Each structure stands twice: as C-alpha cells, then as structure tokens.
Amino acid sequence: MIKGGRGTDVGRLRGWLPELPEPGPQRALVWSSFVNRVGTGMFLATSALYFTVIVGIPARQVGTGLSIAGLAALLGSVPAGTLADRVGPRTVQLVTLAVQTVTMALFVVVHSWWAFTLVAAFDYVADAANNAARGALIGRVGGERPALFRAKLRTFVSVAVVAGTLLAAVAIQIGTRGAYLTVILVNAVSYVVCALLLLRVPDFAPLPRPPGTRRFAALADRPYAAFAILNGLINLQAVVVTLLIPLWIAARTHIPHGVAAAVFGLNFLVGVLLMQPVGRRIETAEQGGRALRIAGLAIAAGCAVLAGSGSGPRWTETVVLLGGAAVVCGAGVWVTAAGFSLSFELAPAHAQGQYQGLTLLGLDAASAIGPALLTALVLGLGGPGWVILGAGFAAAGSAGPSVTRWAERTRPERAGSLENPGNITAPEPA
C-alpha cells in the first residue's frame, strides 16, 4: 500500500504539482484568475486570425494597431496602481474587468483599422490597470508570504492559458466567422465570471500613507526604478523562448518546425513543475537579488548552447537546441520568482499598487523594444549573436544583488510588510 507521507515518492511528487490553497480569499483569487486566463488564452490564440482573415484587416495594419495599443498601455500601470492604493485594489479590478467586458464585445462589431486600434487601445490600458491592481490585491491576500502565493497563482494561470489555447484550436479548426465570434464572446463572459468570483475576495481598505511620504513615491524611487528596468531586461528571457527560438529554427537551422511547439510545451511543463518549489526558496529581497544573478548566468549558458544548434546533422541540431532551450526555460522560473519577491519586498505596504504598476511599466517597456533588437542580433549574426545576447543577460543578472542592496538600504522599514492585514471590509456575498 502506497501512502502519501511527506517522505514517500507520492509525497515528494505532490510537492512538485500545483497546490490549491485552502478555501478562503486565496482560493477565490486563484479561481477568478483561472477563469480570466482561460478566456485570455482562447482570445490570444485566435485574435490574429480573426482580425486578418475574418475582419479583413491587413496583417501589417493589425501589428501597427497593436503597437499603438501597447504604447497606450504604458500610461495606465502606475496611475491605476496609485488609484488601487487609494480606493482599494479590488474596486479597481472590478472596474477594469467591466471595461474589458465592453471592449471585448466591441471587437465583434469592429470592421475598420481605426475602430480596431481604438478598441484595442482601451482594452490594453484596462488590462494594464487590471494587472497593477491585481498585483496589489495579491500582496494583500498573500499576507506575510505574497511572493510564494503569487508563485502558486502563476502555476494555475499557466495551466489556464494552455487550456484556453487548446479550446481555441477547436475554433481555428472550424474556421467559420461564428466560431471566432464565439471565442470572443466567451472571453467577454469570462471577465464577468472573473468579477463575480472576485467578490469572494475581501475588499481590503487602503492602508494610510505615512506622514512625509510622497504621493507618487514610486516615480522618485531610483533604486526601485533600477530594479524595474533590470527586471524588464532579464524577463526578455521569455522572448527568447516564445519568439527567438522559433524564428531561429525556421531561418537558421534544418530542425523540423514542429520542434518549436515542443519548446512551448517544455516551457509550460518546466514552469508548472518548478514554479512552486523555486518560489518557496526565493521569498526575501536578498534571495531575489541572488536569484537574478543565478538566472542571468544560466540564461547565458543556455544561449551558448543554442549558438551551437545552427550546424551539423539535423538530429544533433535538434538535441542541442532542446538542451539549450531547457536551460533557458528553467532559468525563466528563477527570473519570475525573483521578480515576485523583489517587487513585494521593496515596495512600501501602503503603495503596493503604485510600485506594482512601475514594475509592469518596466516589463512592458522592455517588451516593446526587446523583440526587434533580439531578433536582429541573433538572426543577423547567427551563433555569435547568441553569445553576445547571453553576455547581456549575464551582465543584467550580475547587477541583481547590488541593485537589491542599494534598494534595501533606502527602505525606511521592511517595505513589503503588510501591517494590519485584517484592515478589510466585509466581503460581499457572491
């Protein structure tokens, strides 16, 4: 008879699988996020085909419209996070979910590039605001261990996105206008369900701003801004997996294109298996700074391996590429966990939303300029481009401990400590 004790194989296996929180606010937030991300996964997997094939907007114009929407979203994170600190994060999330329900429904009646760009801009701004408020809410719901809770939440979100992508594949296979419209409307409904589940999360009251602190302290906090920039740069690891490796396979190798899908699957599997165990080891600012250094070196090693995947027999190219990709995927888990710990630990408790917004601004800014630069570097130079890219990641990661120490020296107290966690109003009935 096999028992599930901690020391048994079953017990050890459970430690690697997603662990649903106990009934309460954390579980409610997990389910709310899960539903939301299933809808998001469905939409993201079908949106490009819908707007180009069904609506008839040229692909280049779709890309331009999304770029404009992305630039607009850069303006939403910090103000929304500040508002979440002042009126409560759940309130801001509910408002943004209502806006996204409307914008998603409007995509059904979009027939021109201008209308598409306008609706996409509102949707992107609302999404950026939602993410900033969500970060602040996670900080409150997570209590004394917000980084670990966010790591747990990340595993369920990853599963949700994959589930949504698989459902979207059905609509793509059907290929009719009705199938695509169904995906869009289901995503709109998912925002409503997400909001209803969010009502089970307590409505945390704003924490008072200490006397003498600036209203927009995050924008003047140079050590934290340095972390936000550094975090954005090293998170370009995700671009390596989702964009650079597939393009490298297609343009510079003889590897079957289907291996790109295997890399996506590998990234998902590594994230689900490692996110919680790694998250348990990286919760303090000091641990986060060291993790960035380790991750930077690991990504550099993975890039060096990937540099060798552009020559030789097809099977050796494939083996080398999958080996390098596995290292980069594993390092990405450390990058994510480090970002979670540092973003919570270095931010004042009363301004979590504002600081989470600044973190998102760093991520979005890097995502706006990174793909083009990384693609030009690697596809333009080949193997040496991978080596140069890896050196850049190693340099960024090596700055993690020093930036963390600088930020810690300027904190008046343990920044991420959420004093008076019980300062909430009664949750509304769902």
Mind spelling out the 3-state secondary structure of the chain? Answer: CCCCCCCCHHHHHHHHCCCCCCCCHHHHHHHHHHHHHHHHHHHHHHHHHHHHHHCCCCHHHHHHHHHHHHHHHCCCHHHHHHHHHHHCHHHHHHHHHHHHHHHHHHHHHCCCHHHHHHHHHHHHHHHHHHHHHHHHHHHHHCCCCHHHHHHHHHHHHHHHHHHHHHHHHHHHHHCCHHHHHHHHHHHHHHHHHHHHHHCCCCEECCCCCCCCCCCCHHHHCHHHHHHHHHHHHHCCHHHHHHHHHHHHHHHHCCCCCCHHHHHHHHHHHHHHHHHHHHHHHCCCHHHHHHHHHHHHHHHHHHHHHHHHHHCCCHHHHHHHHHHHHHHHHHHHHHHHHHHHHHHHHCCCHHHHHHHHHHHHHHHHHHHHHHHHHHHHHHHHHCHHHHHHHHHHHHHHHHCHHHHHHHHHHCCCCCCCCCCCCCCEECCCCC
Residues paired with 203 in a beta bridge: 425
CB 389 within 8 A of CB 374: yes
Confidence check: pLDDT of 8 > 60: no
CATH class for the region spanning 25-204: mainly alpha
For the chain, residues classed under CATH 1.20.1250.20 are 25-204, 217-409
Encoded amino acid at 392, one letter: G
* 128, 133, 164, 186, 193 from 35: Cα distances, Å: 18, 17, 9, 11, 7
- Residue with the bigger pLDDT between 42 and 144: it is 42
pLDDT of residue 113: 92
CB 139 within 8 A of CB 344: yes
Confidence check: pLDDT of 429 > 70: no
pLDDT of residue 422: 38
Range with lowest mean pLDDT among 16-25, 42-51, 139-148: 16-25
What is the C-alpha radius of gyration for the chain, rounded to an integer number of angstroms? Answer: 22
Q: What pTM was estimated for this model as a whole?
A: 0.82
Confidence check: pLDDT of 342 > 50: yes
pLDDT of residue 415: 45
Pick the CATH number of 217-409 from 1.20.1250.20, 3.40.50.720, 1.20.120.420, 1.10.599.10: 1.20.1250.20
- Residue with the bigger pLDDT between 428 and 103: it is 103
Band of the pLDDT at 58, cuts 50, 70, 90?
A: confident
Strands 203-204 and 424-425: antiparallel
Band of the pLDDT at 109, cuts 50, 70, 90?
A: very high
Nearest to 338 by CA among 299, 290, 296, 300: 290
Q: In this structure, what are the phi and psi dihedrals at residue 219, rounded to the nearest 5 degrees?
A: -70, -20
Confidence check: pLDDT of 17 > 70: no
Confidence check: pLDDT of 294 > 70: yes
180-226 pLDDT tens trace: 999 999 999 999 999 999 999 988 888 787 776 777 777 888 999 99
Q: What does the pLDDT average to over 249-276?
A: 86
Band of the pLDDT at 319, cuts 50, 70, 90?
A: very high
pLDDT of residue 347: 86
Assign residue 425 a region (left: φ > 0; alpha: ψ between -120 and 50; beta: otherwise). Answer: beta
Nearest to 239 by CA among 113, 378, 347: 378
Q: In this structure, what are the phi and psi dihedrals at residue 204, rounded to the nearest 5 degrees?
A: -65, 130
